[in-house]
């Protein structure tokens, strides 16, 4: 019988101040310091004769394809396994550096900063990954009050956290890999300090175990309707709420998983980029959105801390972003890397997009696996995949997506077919 082996570590990879933060177009000043550390967490699960899978989770807005290649090679080198067995995921915090990945979308121009990339890659490449025997078990639990659909309170959202628990033979908790769907946007554009946002607070509350966080189908999910403020106290409150539910799940029995290495399969899906509107039409959309923000014909809106104000402002941001896309030299097609990781009854579907909650639910419903978790922001970044209601209403995400509805349907259909092979 094979023995399941774990190596796990969490690295502080916080950059120095003076570099640009990513996530909000409204930010103009560089980072002034650190609110809480940014981490790269490595959780490697395999056996003596099977490299299994190494999850690398990073506190970043996204991981572009070049950064993914660099990090997978560095983590593979540290573990002595092929880079193809490394899955690289971003938490999507909006208080990390733009310099790791560079420009992920024309909405927020940015460039890679070689000194920041070198420091990050060196930290991962030099990670110590001694392995020890563990047992694996699975749990899930409902979490209310951290995230909700950010367009309407009762809109779609997967409120469950999926939890892979890894215990030593003596029963102590060695590591946790959990997923949950919600934008880490407790801090707003006024924040100029590095922060992992609520995922970092949740990890800290679950110490001393090594904790890796996977971001779910969070394209239209955020704390917009749940947060009670914008500062460090609210980050701690939301992270603590999530961590308390994870601890509650860990205190009960879980589904025992096999003592075999997780398996990974990969493919790519080729999608057409949508046609952008003519410049005059894009400019008209910007003018209409700006009128609402100013309190024009559509009625006055409240401040940006109010949900209605944020919705109006983000729609204006989206309209401006669409104008930038219309003027940019976009490719005709994009190749999206997709991967599926399985361990017993559990399947993680990894996509390099911000998937809407409705689409995450569709992939789960179409899965032949008993337990399916949908993870976004992984092994690349190609923007939003929106649902029909967002496209019809002209929501922020629909204005800046690279893909139209036929392409979205193609992605979902092909992903479902691949995951069920």
Whether 261 contacts 133, CB under 8 Å: no
How far separated are the first and last CA of the chain, in Å rounded?
Answer: 26
- The rounded distance, in Å, linking the Cα atoms of 361 and 382 is 20
User: Is the pLDDT score of 296 beyond 60?
Assistant: no
Tell how far CA 359 is from the center of its chain. 15
Binned at pLDDT 50, 70 and 90, residue 299 comes out as very low
- Mean predicted confidence (pLDDT) in 93-111: 93
* Whether pLDDT at 323 is above 90: no
Q: Which residues are bridge partners to 173 per DSSP?
A: 167
Least confident of 128-132, 245-249, 342-346, 390-394: 390-394
- Interval 64-83: pLDDT, tens: 999 999 999 999 999 999 99
- Amino acid 305: pLDDT: 60
Query: Which pLDDT tens digit goes with each residue over 338-352?
Result: 999 999 999 999 999
% of the chain residues with pLDDT over 70:
96
pLDDT over 60 at 303, yes or no: no
Across 353-379, average pLDDT? 97
Q: Phi and psi at residue 60, in whole multiples of 5°? A: -150, 160
What would the pLDDT profile of 136-157 be if each residue is shown by its tens digit? 999 999 999 999 999 888 899 9
- Round to whole Å and give the CA distance between 208 and 196: 18
What's the pLDDT at 109? 86
pLDDT digits (tens, 9 = 90+) for 250-294: 999 999 999 999 999 999 999 999 998 877 776 777 777 777 777
Measure the CA–CA gap between 228 and 238, rounded to whole angstroms.
9
| Burial classification of residue 389, based on how many CB atoms lie within 10 Å of its CB (0-12 exposed, 13-18 middle, 19 or more buried) | middle
pTM of the model: 0.93
% the chain with pLDDT above 90: 81
Q: Is the pLDDT of residue 298 over 60?
A: no
Assess whether the previous peptide bond of 208 is cis (omega < 30° from 0). yes
Q: Residues of 73-87 as b/e, b for ≥16 C-beta within 10 angstroms?
A: bbbbbbbebebebbb
**d(Cα 151, Cα 292) in Å, to the nearest integer?**
16
Crossing angle for the helix pair 197-205 and 232-251, to the nearest 10 degrees: 50
């Amino acid at each position: 019988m094979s023995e399941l082996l774990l190596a796990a570590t969490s690295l502080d990879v916080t950059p120095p101040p003076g570099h640009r933060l990513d996530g909000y177009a409204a930010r103009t000043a560089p980072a002034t310091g650190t609110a809480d550390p940014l981490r790269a967490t490595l959780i490697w699960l395999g056996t003596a004769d099977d490299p299994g899978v190494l999850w690398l989770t990073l506190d970043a807005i996204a991981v572009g394809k070049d950064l993914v290649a660099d990090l997978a090679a560095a983590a593979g080198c540290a573990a002595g396994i092929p880079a193809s067995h490394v899955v690289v995921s971003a938490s999507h915090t909006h208080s990390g550096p733009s310099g790791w990945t560079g420009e992920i979308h024309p909405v927020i121009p940015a460039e890679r900063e070689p000194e920041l990339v070198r420091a990050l890659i060196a930290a991962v490449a030099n990670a110590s990954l001694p392995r020890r025997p563990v047992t694996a078990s699975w749990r899930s639990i409902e979490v209310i009050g951290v995230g909700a659909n950010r367009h309407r309170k009762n809109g779609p959202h997967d409120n469950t956290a999926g939890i892979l628990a890894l215990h030593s033979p003596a029963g102590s908790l060695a590591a946790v890999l959990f997923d949950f769907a919600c934008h880490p946007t407790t801090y707003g554009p006024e924040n100029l300090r590095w922060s992992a946002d609520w995922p970092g607070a949740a990890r800290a509350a679950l110490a001393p175990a090594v904790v890796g966080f996977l971001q779910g189908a969070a394209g239209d999910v955020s704390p917009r309707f749940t947060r009670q403020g914008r500062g460090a106290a609210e980050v701690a409150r939301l992270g603590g709420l999530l961590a308390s539910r994870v601890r509650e799940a860990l205190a009960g029995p879980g589904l025992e998983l096999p003592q075999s290495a997780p398996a990974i399969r990969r493919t790519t899906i080729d999608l057409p980029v949508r046609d952008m509107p003519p410049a005059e039409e894009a400019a008209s959309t910007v003018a209409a959105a700006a009128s609402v923000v100013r309190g024009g014909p559509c009625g006055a809106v409240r401040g940006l801390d109010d949900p209605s104000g944020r919705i109006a402002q983000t729609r204006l941001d989206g309209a401006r972003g669409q104008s930038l896309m219309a003027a940019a030299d976009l490719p005709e097609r994009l190749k999206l890397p997709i991967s599926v990781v399985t361990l017993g009854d559990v399947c993680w579907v990894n996509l390099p997009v911000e998937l809407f909650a409705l689409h995450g639910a569709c992939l789960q419903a179409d899965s032949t696996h008993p337990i399916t978790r949908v993870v976004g922001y992984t092994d690349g970044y190609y923007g939003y995949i929106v649902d029909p209601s967002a496209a019809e209403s002209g929501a922020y995400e629909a204005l800046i997506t690279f893909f139209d509805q036929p392409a979205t349907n193609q992605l979902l259909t092909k992903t479902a077919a691949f995951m069920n092979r």
